[in-house]
């Protein structure tokens, strides 16, 4: 059973999410929060597997709420539900530790699949879509800011082998495991092993965070 907390300031949105989730035999809604502060408190109380997190909420917004939930170090993972025209917000949410994001007008089956993926430890956002989002946002960062980030984050790459650094680079470029296996002439099981080691060595929570790391350290630059 996957437990879910819904955090959204719109009652009708929360109601819609609840109705959908409660129609599933493998999901249970453990609570609803109308703002970020409530979400943080309710996560401490219920320790859900997944939080469906809105970004724009009164008081404590979804970005800061995500940051606090992730910083607590519990098993709860955050799935941000937003719109793609808010690229900067989505990027900030991922950097805060969210495991991915979806659009609010996503099909019901997409939302359900996203929740299950996040609960199992995967990222929700497709690598190619993640790259387009980060390209759109990072392209507008001042060069000095990018350089500063690279200096701060570069130490996280020190433990990687040459092959792992290569694979992290192409993950940042939006390659799937299948594409990596085909283009680098590796078994897909070997690629999965490399990806797992990259996440462990860099402290990235999932593939989305690995993409962000690739950008921060300038292994990948905006197109």
- Report, as an integer, the average pLDDT of 163-183: 89
Out of 56-60, 103-107, 208-212, the most confident range is: 56-60
The sign one gets for the Cα dihedral 76, 29, 130, 38 is negative
pLDDT at 66 over 90: yes
> Is 133 a residue whose pLDDT tops 70?
no
Backbone angles phi, psi at 25, to 5 degrees: -70, -20
Q: Which residue has the higher pLDDT, 104 or 37?
A: 37
Place of tokens 């943080």: 40
Structure-model confidence comparison of residues 94 and 145, the more confident one: 94
Residue pair 217/154 in contact (Cβ under 8 Å)? The answer is yes
Six token digits for residue 174: 């939006």
Q: What number is the average pLDDT over the span 3-21?
A: 95
pLDDT at position 41 is 97
CATH topology of domain 2-124: Rossmann fold (3.40.50)
Residue-range domain boundaries for the chain: 2-124, 133-216
Please state, rounded to an integer, the average pLDDT across all residues of the chain: 83
Cα 193 to Cα 69, 181, 189, 196, 210: the distances in Å are 28, 12, 6, 5, 14
Lowest-pLDDT range of 76-80, 141-145, 184-188: 141-145
Instruction: Please say if the pLDDT value at position 90 is more than 90.
Output: no
| Residue 147 to residue 136: CA distance in whole angstroms | 18
> What is the spatial distance between Cα 216 and Cα 148, in angstroms, rounded to a whole number?
9
Between 8-22, 77-91, 134-148, 151-165, the lowest mean confidence (pLDDT) is in: 134-148
Q: What is the fold, at CATH topology level, of the domain defined by 133-216?
A: Rossmann fold (3.40.50)
Of all residues in the chain, the percent with pLDDT exceeding 90 is 48
Calculate what percentage of the chain has a pLDDT beyond 70: 82
The pLDDT confidence band at residue 151, using thresholds 50, 70 and 90, is: very low
Q: For residue 94, which of 67, 72, 132 has the smallest C-alpha distance?
A: 67
Task: Tell me the mean pLDDT in the region 157-186.
Answer: 90
């Amino acid at each position: 059973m996957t437990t879910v907390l819904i955090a959204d300031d719109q009652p009708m949105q929360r109601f819609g999410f609840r109705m959908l989730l409660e129609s599933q035999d493998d999901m249970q809604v453990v609570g609803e929060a109308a703002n970020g502060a409530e979400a943080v408190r309710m996560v401490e109380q219920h320790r859900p597997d997944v939080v469906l997190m809105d970004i724009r909420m009164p008081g404590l917004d979804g970005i800061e709420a995500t940051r606090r939930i992730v910083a607590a170090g519990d098993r709860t993972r955050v799935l941000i539900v937003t719109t793609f025209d808010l690229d900067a917000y989505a990027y900030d949410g991922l950097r805060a530790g969210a495991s991915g994001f979806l659009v609010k007008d996503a099909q019901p089956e997409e939302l359900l699949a996203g929740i299950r993926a996040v609960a199992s430890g995967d990222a929700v956002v497709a690598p190619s879509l993640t790259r387009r989002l980060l390209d759109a946002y990072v392209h507008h960062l001042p060069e000095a800011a990018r350089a500063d980030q690279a200096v701060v984050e570069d130490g996280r790459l020190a433990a990687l082998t040459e092959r792992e650094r290569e694979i992290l680079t192409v993950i940042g470029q939006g390659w799937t495991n299948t594409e990596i296996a085909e283009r680098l002439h590796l078994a897909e099981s070997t690629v999965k092993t490399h990806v797992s080691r990259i996440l462990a060595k860099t402290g990235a929570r999932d593939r989305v965070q690995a993409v962000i790391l690739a950008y921060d350290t300038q292994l990948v630059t905006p197109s």
